[in-house]
């Protein structure tokens, strides 16, 4: 790099990255790293609330009608509110902010080698709207009538008529919170795509972009293309609730199925919106810890394109029993089963990456491997549910519930822990304790299976999802089934207790952990070429990229990794 | 503009100091335009959802418009449509002038385009008042609800875009911290979008 160019760069850095006051550094930041932390911490706080709700309603299911310690009595309305908001929080306030907004914000500029997002102030606004939406959601738990209890899918007329839902303001605030959140991610998403398109480091071609960045950007594009209908639907639902329109009310000429279509047109791509970032993060982690090139970089990428495209034409598989035409259902069966092909291909690429690698079982790698294992079960059971003939029996049973927890838990919780344990040294400049990390891993992964595997059997026994006390149903109130429920609940409590290990490890390592080197995992991507934690402006000199992100164990090289920004040797 | 300056530095480094490197093609579209195009994808889907909601609800009813609901002002709105389209054309003219760096003249035509847009908005607002007087409200029927929802959603976009354009018009060519023609362009794009959506909505809601 010529001296003149370096000098110019240093000047621009000095000009734009002066020390900021506390207020502008941490409360109103435009630095993508601080905004990312804001998202991640807000998401983690919401995860605690979501987990607490799960604890309360699982206790009610295991020991119906008894006082739940640390909560109190869970009545039927209360139960519905807990279940609804558990789902809402875990998807919209944990998976989305942590995986996409949080880690997207953190890793995109670092991995593509630029100093910040291209619209830093839009980024800040995005978080502020997100925070407002969080506060509105929390407020909705405390208004008269309590929080919304019409399930996270909010089917009308239950969600639109206060006489049915009994949560007049709870329902409206819920819709408002969700709509605000989407506006926030809309702004964030514009930023992500534009940054990745226009601000990559020189030399970084499309096919040099790490998979994690690619997948987050694809997820964002899916989100942007699918969220419009849901925003339209949310406006219509809000109008139905508050100003007396009847878009979704048959009595006034509306159509309740319309909401289901608008909701699931967004809702199904949304599954892939949260899935893709985790898949990308896992791809990066398994290549780093198997010291091997990612198997089929382009294949992995194209399967993601295929998944994204197909995800727009599968939505009606959520409505097989809602009264849609069986001929239409057949079409959606085909598309639904088709979508498992690219995803299976991607999984095989990951497994092929592991094959023959020198695998290091560090904590992030354990999480990444467990993601593949757990997601496999979720994917396989999904194929049964995608067939309309079977779905007629499985619909709204615990089989469905266990299925989507086997997809969402790996995506959200395992993906989040994988990402946090992997990038923690970069984020805070200190290493996490690996032993505690492994204890936390096993203490989470084993109970997770103990919670949800039995639920498949409950579903096969005919247990419906939306019942708060099975004692009222003689077929479901047998001691045998009750024992399974108690087992799942006890496993949940064990899992929640092990999260204390993580919280301890997280905060103690943040302040007292071993100092992290710049590149603790010997990884190739650009974020590891800058100090840990990266300074404001990320790079001392903006990096130049010479090769793809996955050049591990290249024959003829002394080191088994080859950073993207390391100049090729003069020949 | 912090990012644009650091980016031009990026290009300079790539070209000056590392001639052997594969040169990154200069991005053909600016950040603002990329961002706006992505936003417009969402907007397109938003209006597509409103239109499909309209068609689904309408297909489910036997009588359209429902009995006792007033007729929509087709002729006045046809005139409004022409005004809005003219505004869109003038926006294109002003863009062409601004591209040739003819700031003064471009700004004048931008202003006229904004005025036509504002006329459209006021005229639509007046129509709404008339319709409410004749008994068409959001709760009078699903017909009324859909009318105000779709036309209102469009009107909301007109208000928002006009506000941004007026702000830009005011600062275009200003001495301090001016809005550049390039900075204005994304909002002109949004205006084209708002103008182009309107005839579809007009045909759908008023004519058929």
Which value, in Å, is the radius of gyration of the alpha carbons in chain B?
Answer: 22
Count chain A–chain B contacts defined by CB atoms under 8 A.
165
Q: Are residues B30 and A198, on separate chains, in Cβ contact within 8 Å?
A: yes
Domain boundaries B31-207, CATH class: mainly alpha
Q: Are residues A202 and B30, on separate chains, in Cβ contact within 8 Å?
A: no
Residue B71's pLDDT is: 87
Q: What is the mean pLDDT of residues A553-557?
A: 90
Nearest one of A336, A224, A345 to A295, comparing CA atoms: A345
Residue A18's pLDDT is: 60
Site of tokens 């293309």: A225
Contact status of B11 with chain A (Cβ, < 8 Å): yes
Nearest to B2 among A16, A235, A246 (CB): A16
Contacts of B142 (CB under 8 A, 6+ apart): A245, A246, A247, A252, A253, A254, B57, B61, B66
Contact status of A14 with chain B (Cβ, < 8 Å): no
Residue A165's pLDDT is: 86
Which chain A residues are Cβ-neighbours of B47 within 8 angstroms? 228
Whether B181 has a pLDDT exceeding 50, the answer reads yes
Q: Mean pLDDT across chain A, nearest whole number?
A: 92
Whether A326 has a pLDDT exceeding 80, the answer reads yes
Nearest one of A199, A98, A33 to A533, comparing CA atoms: A33
Q: Are residues B60 and A229, on separate chains, in Cβ contact within 8 Å?
A: no
Q: Are residues A1 and B17, on separate chains, in Cβ contact within 8 Å?
A: yes
* Token reading at B184: 């204005």
Whether B115 has a pLDDT exceeding 70, the answer reads yes
* Token reading at A44: 């983690």
Q: What is the mean pLDDT of residues A500-512?
A: 96
Whether B26 has a pLDDT exceeding 70, the answer reads no
| A46-67: b (≥16 Cβ within 10 Å) or e | bbebbbebbbbbbbbbbebeee
Q: Best of A189, A245, A564 to disrupt the B interface by mutation (most B CBs within 10 Å)?
A: A245
Residues B157, B136: Cα–Cα separation, whole Å: 22
**pLDDT band at residue B8 using 50, 70 and 90 as cut-offs:** very low
Residues A336, A320: Cα–Cα separation, whole Å: 12
A511 versus A15: the higher-pLDDT residue is: A511
Is omega for the bond preceding A470 within 30 degrees of 0, making it cis? no
**pLDDT band at residue A21 using 50, 70 and 90 as cut-offs:** confident
Which chain B residues are Cβ-neighbours of A202 within 8 angstroms? 10-11, 13-14, 18, 21, 23-24
**Helix (H) / strand (E) containing B147:** helix B142-171
| Stretch among A302-316, B11-25, B175-189 having the lowest mean pLDDT | B11-25
CA distances to A18, B81, B89, B206 from B75, in Å: 60, 10, 21, 10
Residue A17's pLDDT is: 53
Q: At what angle do helices A256-290 and A103-112 cross, to 10 degrees?
A: 50
**pLDDT band at residue A378 using 50, 70 and 90 as cut-offs:** very high
| B113-150: b (≥16 Cβ within 10 Å) or e | bbebbbebbebbeebbeebeeeebbbebbbbbbbbbbb
Q: Best of A3, A5, A201 to disrupt the B interface by mutation (most B CBs within 10 Å)?
A: A5
Chain B stretch 42-81, residues whose beta carbon is closer than 8 A to a beta carbon of chain A: 42-50, 53, 56-57, 60-61, 66
Q: Are residues A200 and B24, on separate chains, in Cβ contact within 8 Å?
A: yes
Residue A540's pLDDT is: 85
Contacts of A7 (CB under 8 A, 6+ apart): none
Whether B25 has a pLDDT exceeding 60, the answer reads no
Residue A28's pLDDT is: 87
Q: Are residues A120 and B27, on separate chains, in Cβ contact within 8 Å?
A: no
| Stretch among A291-295, A445-449, B135-139 having the lowest mean pLDDT | B135-139
| Stretch among A88-92, A404-408, B14-18, B72-76 having the lowest mean pLDDT | B14-18
Count other C-beta atoms under 10 Å from residue A557's C-beta: 12
Nearest to B138 among A115, A205, A244 (CB): A244
Phi and psi, residue B143, nearest 5°: -60, -50
Nearest one of A334, A234, A256, A235 to B152, comparing CA atoms: A235
Q: Are residues A225 and B45, on separate chains, in Cβ contact within 8 Å?
A: yes
Q: What is the mean pLDDT of residues A513-525?
A: 95
Please report the ipTM that was assigned to this predicted complex.
0.91
Nearest to B3 among A4, A186, A199 (CB): A199
Which chain A residues are Cβ-neighbours of B23 within 8 angstroms? 202
Note the pLDDT tens digit of each residue in A109-121: 999 999 899 999 9
Q: Are residues A235 and B153, on separate chains, in Cβ contact within 8 Å?
A: yes
Nearest one of A547, A523, A527 to A213, comparing CA atoms: A527
Residues B127, B104: Cα–Cα separation, whole Å: 35
CA distances to A153, A236, A256, B131, B143 from A253, in Å: 22, 14, 10, 20, 9
Residues in chain B, overall count: 208
* Token reading at A186: 């809309």
| This prediction's pTM | 0.91
Residue A537's pLDDT is: 86
- The residue ranges of DSSP E strands in A207-282, in sequence order, are none
Nearest to A236 among B41, B44, B53 (CB): B53
Q: Best of B20, B38, B58 to disrupt the A interface by mutation (most A CBs within 10 Å)?
A: B38
Q: Mean pLDDT across chain B, nearest whole number?
A: 86
Helix (H, G, I), strand (E, B) or coil at A62: helix
Nearest to B35 among A114, A119, A205 (CB): A119
Chain B stretch 78-117, residues whose beta carbon is closer than 8 A to a beta carbon of chain A: none
Smallest CA–CA separation between B190 and chain A, in Å?
Answer: 15
A270: burial class by Cβ within 10 Å (0-12, 13-18, 19+)? buried
Torsion of CA B136, B141, B143, B147, to 10 degrees: 50
Residues A409, A282: Cα–Cα separation, whole Å: 14
Residue A502 in contact with residue A440, Cβ under 8 Å?
yes
A511: burial class by Cβ within 10 Å (0-12, 13-18, 19+)? exposed
Chain A stretch 234-263, residues whose beta carbon is closer than 8 A to a beta carbon of chain B: 235-236, 239, 243-247, 252-255, 258, 261-262
Nearest to A247 among B14, B30, B57 (CB): B57
Per-residue H/E/C for B100-140: CCCHHHHHHHHHHHHHHHHHHHHHHHHHHHHHHHCCCCCCC
Contact status of A202 with chain B (Cβ, < 8 Å): yes
Q: Best of B142, B153, B189 to disrupt the A interface by mutation (most A CBs within 10 Å)?
A: B142
Which residue of B lies nearest to A263 if distances are taken between CA atoms?
B49
* Token reading at A430: 């200190």
Residues A270, A93: Cα–Cα separation, whole Å: 13
Smallest CA–CA separation between B54 and chain A, in Å?
Answer: 9
Enumerate domains of chain A plus CATH numbers: 31-529 (1.20.210.10)
Q: How large a percentage of chain A has pLDDT more than 90?
A: 84
Which residue of B lies nearest to A228 if distances are taken between CA atoms?
B46
Note the pLDDT tens digit of each residue in A59-101: 999 999 999 999 999 999 999 999 999 999 999 999 999 999 9
Query: Would you list the domain boundaries of chain B?
Result: 31-207
Q: What is the mean pLDDT of residues B78-87?
A: 97
Nearest to A243 among B50, B53, B138 (CB): B138
Residues A438, A260: Cα–Cα separation, whole Å: 42
Chain B stretch 137-196, residues whose beta carbon is closer than 8 A to a beta carbon of chain A: 138-139, 141-143, 145-146, 149, 153
Q: How large a percentage of chain A has pLDDT more than 70?
A: 96
């Amino acid at each position: 790099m010529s001296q003149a160019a370096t000098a110019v760069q240093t000047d621009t850095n000095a000009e734009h990255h002066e020390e900021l006051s506390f207020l502008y550094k941490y409360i109103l930041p435009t630095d993508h790293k601080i905004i990312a932390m804001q998202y991640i911490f807000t998401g983690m706080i919401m995860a605690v609330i979501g987990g607490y709700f799960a604890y309360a309603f699982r206790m009610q299911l295991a020991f119906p009608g008894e006082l739940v310690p640390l909560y109190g009595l869970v009545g039927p309305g209360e139960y519905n509110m807990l279940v609804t908001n558990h789902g809402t929080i875990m998807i919209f306030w944990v998976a989305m902010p942590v995986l996409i907004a949080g880690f997207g914000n953190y890793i995109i500029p670092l991995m593509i080698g630029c100093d910040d997002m291209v619209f830093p102030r839009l980024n800040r606004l995005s978080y502020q709207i997100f925070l407002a939406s969080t506060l509105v959601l929390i407020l909705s738990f405390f208004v008269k009538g309590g929080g919304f209890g019409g399930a996270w899918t909010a089917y009308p007329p239950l969600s639109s008529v206060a006489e049915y839902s009994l949560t007049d303001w709870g329902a409206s605030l819920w819709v408002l919170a969700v709509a605000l959140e989407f506006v926030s991610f809309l702004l964030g998403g514009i930023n992500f795509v534009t940054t990745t398109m226009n601000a990559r480091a020189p030399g970084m071609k499309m096919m040099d972009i790490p998979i994690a960045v690619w997948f987050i950007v694809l997820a964002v594009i899916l989100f942007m293309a699918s969220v419009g209908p849901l925003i339209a639907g949310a406006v219509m639902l809000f109008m139905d609730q508050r100003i007396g329109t009847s878009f979704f009310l048959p009595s006034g000429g509306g159509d309740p199925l319309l909401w289901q279509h608008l909701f699931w047109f967004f809702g199904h791509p949304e599954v892939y919106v949260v899935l893709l970032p985790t898949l990308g993060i896992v791809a990066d982690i398994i290549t780093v810890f198997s010291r091997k090139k990612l198997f089929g970089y382009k294949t992995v990428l194209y399967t993601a394109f295929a998944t994204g495209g197909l995800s727009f034409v599968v939505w009606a598989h959520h409505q097989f029993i809602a009264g849609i035409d069986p001929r239409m259902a057949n079409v959606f069966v085909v598309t639904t089963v088709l979508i498992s092909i690219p995803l299976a291909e991607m999984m095989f690429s990951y497994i092929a990456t592991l094959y023959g690698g020198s695998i290091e079982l560090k904590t992030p790698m354990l999480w990444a491997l467990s993601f593949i294992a757990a997601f496999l079960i979720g994917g396989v059971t999904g194929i049964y549910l995608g067939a309309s003939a079977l779905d007629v029996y499985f619909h709204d049973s615990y089989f469905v519930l266990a299925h989507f927890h086997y997809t969402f838990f790996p995506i959200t919780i395992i993906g989040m822990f994988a990402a946090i344990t992997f990038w923690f040294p970069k984020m805070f400049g200190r290493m996490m304790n690996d032993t505690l990390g492994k204890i936390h891993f096993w203490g989470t992964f084993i109970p997770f299976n103990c919670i949800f595997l039995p639920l498949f059997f409950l579903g096969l026994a005919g247990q419906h999802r939306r019942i708060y006390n099975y004692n009222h149903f003689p077929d479901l109130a047998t001691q045998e089934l009750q024992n399974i429920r108690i087992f799942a609940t006890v496993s949940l409590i064990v899992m929640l207790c092990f999260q204390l290990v993580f919280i301890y490890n997280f905060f103690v390592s943040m302040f007292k952990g071993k100092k992290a080197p710049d590149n603790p995992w010997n990884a190739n991507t650009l974020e590891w070429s800058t100090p840990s934690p990266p300074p404001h402006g990320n790079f001392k000199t903006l990096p130049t990229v010479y090769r793809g992100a996955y050049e591990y164990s290249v024959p003829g090289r002394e080191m088994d990794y080859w950073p993207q920004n390391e100049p090729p040797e003069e020949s | 503009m912090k990012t644009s300056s650091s980016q031009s530095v990026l290009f300079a480094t790539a070209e000056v100091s590392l001639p052997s490197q594969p040169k990154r093609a200069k991005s053909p579209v600016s950040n603002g335009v990329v961002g706006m195009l992505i936003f417009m994808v969402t907007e397109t889907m938003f209006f597509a959802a409103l239109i499909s909601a309209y068609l689904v609800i309408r297909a489910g009813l036997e009588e359209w418009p429902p009995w006792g609901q007033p007729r929509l002002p087709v002729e006045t709105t046809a005139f409004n449509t022409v005004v809005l389209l003219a505004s869109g054309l003038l926006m294109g003219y002003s863009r062409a002038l601004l591209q040739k760096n003819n700031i003064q003249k471009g700004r004048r035509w931008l202003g006229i385009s904004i005025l036509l847009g504002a006329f459209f908005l006021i005229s639509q607002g007046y129509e709404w008042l008339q319709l409410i007087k004749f008994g068409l409200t959001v709760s009078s029927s699903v017909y009324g609800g859909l009318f105000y929802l779709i036309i209102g959603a469009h009107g909301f976009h007109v208000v928002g875009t006009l506000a941004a354009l007026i702000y830009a018009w005011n600062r275009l060519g200003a001495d301090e911290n001016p809005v550049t023609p390039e900075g204005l362009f994304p909002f002109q794009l949004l205006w084209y979008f708002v103008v182009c959506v309107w005839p579809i909505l007009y045909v759908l809601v008023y004519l058929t």
